[in-house]
């Protein structure tokens, strides 16, 4: 287990600040987008905790010794953990843990990031990711959103079909539905494989309401122009700060 000791002179009288139950260690790969981290409580010592995930600001100090992380995106993450003791006053060293999230089993479609935290008037960008696909030639995608809560400001082609290939890209936005078509054409490399962005969508939050951009239909085609199925779609959530 990972641990860090208090730095005061009486540190030897205190147990280490230790991650429990999750056994989260640097280098771990998690197959879920939600994790719970339980920290030592040190009953009666007036302990508070805080954390910082990736480049987000530090959380507020809290007496809760359980940290729940939700809507974690695919890929590498780093969390920093710290504790404060009121009697005698002391702050622990920072415990840093790096880990990887691989919660989406491809081939899949997902909006990245999974969640934006926003205030009214904030502009955000979602990437439409094709996740772990093989021999993808074309994609036709349809998504739905609430026009009273979100405005679509701009849509552009992602980089997946633009790595030396010739491609086409078109879209339409009408009555809360976004429709996209993108395809490789006339190329010595007529398909792509792996994970990449098919499109970028810029939106603005209009009202203080939790909402989402939701996949409502999709067709993916391979080099032989045959449709192939995907395992899942991951929608894009917008929560209000």
Q: How far is CA 66 from CA 14, 50, 69, in A?
A: 19, 10, 10
- Counted domains in the chain: 2
- Could you tell me the CA-to-CA distances from 61 to 47, 64, 84, 85, 86 in Å, in that order? 10, 9, 8, 11, 12
Q: Based on the domain organization, do 119 and 77 belong to the same domain?
A: no
Same domain, residue pair 115 and 231? yes
Which residue among 101, 125, 157 closes a domain?
A: 101
Q: Which domain does 121 fall in, by range?
A: 108-240
Question: Are 200 and 169 spatial neighbours (Cβ–Cβ below 8 Å)?
Answer: no
Q: What is the mean pLDDT of each run of 10 residues along the chain (241 residues)?
A: 42 51 78 88 75 95 91 96 78 87 96 97 97 95 98 96 85 97 84 95 97 97 90 97 86
Give the CATH number, domain containing residue 117: 2.60.40.680
Angle at 153 between CA 147 and CA 158, to 5 degrees: 115
Give yes or no: residues 153 and 174 share one domain. Answer: yes
Q: Residue 23's pLDDT is what?
A: 63
* 34 and 144, same domain (yes or no): no
- Assess whether 227 and 198 both reside in one domain: yes
Domain boundary among 42, 67, 101: 101
Query: What's this model's pTM, rounded to 2 decimal places?
Result: 0.85
Question: Which residues contact residue 225 at a Cβ distance below 8 angstroms, ignoring those fewer than 6 apart?
Answer: 137, 138
130 shares a domain with 214 = yes
* Shared-domain flag, residues 132 and 114: yes
Token pair 């508070």 is found at 48
Q: Are residues 138 and 225 in the same domain?
A: yes
Q: Are residues 166 and 216 in the same domain?
A: yes
- 106 φ/ψ angles, rounded to the nearest 5 degrees: -75, 170
93 and 128 share one domain: no
Structure-derived torsion over alpha carbons of residues 69, 73, 76, 77, reported in degrees to the nearest 10: -30
8 A C-beta contact, residue 51 and residue 65: no
pLDDT value of residue 230: 94
């Amino acid at each position: 287990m990972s641990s860090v000791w208090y730095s005061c002179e009486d540190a030897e009288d205190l147990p280490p600040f230790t991650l429990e139950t999750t056994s989260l260690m640097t280098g771990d790969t998690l197959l879920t987008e939600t994790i719970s981290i339980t920290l030592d409580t040190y009953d009666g010592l007036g302990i508070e905790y805080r954390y910082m995930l990736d480049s987000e600001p530090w959380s507020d100090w809290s007496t809760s010794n359980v940290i729940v992380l939700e809507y974690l995106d695919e890929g590498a993450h780093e969390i920093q953990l710290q504790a404060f003791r009121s009697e005698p006053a002391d702050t622990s060293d920072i415990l840093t843990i790096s880990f990887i999230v691989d919660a989406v089993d491809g081939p899949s479609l997902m909006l990245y990031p999974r969640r934006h935290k926003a205030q009214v008037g904030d502009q955000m960008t979602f990437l439409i990711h094709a996740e772990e696909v093989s021999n993808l030639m074309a994609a036709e995608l349809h998504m739905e959103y609430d026009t009273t809560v979100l405005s679509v400001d701009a849509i552009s082609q992602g980089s997946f079909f633009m790595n030396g290939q010739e491609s086409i890209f078109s879209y339409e936005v009408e009555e809360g539905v976004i429709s996209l078509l993108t395809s490789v054409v006339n190329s010595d490399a007529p398909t792509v494989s792996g994970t990449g962005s098919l499109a970028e969508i810029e939106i603005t939050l209009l009202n203080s309401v939790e909402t989402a951009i939701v996949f409502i239909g999709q067709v993916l085609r391979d080099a032989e122009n045959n449709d192939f199925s995907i395992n899942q779609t991951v929608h894009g959530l917008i929560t209000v700060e």
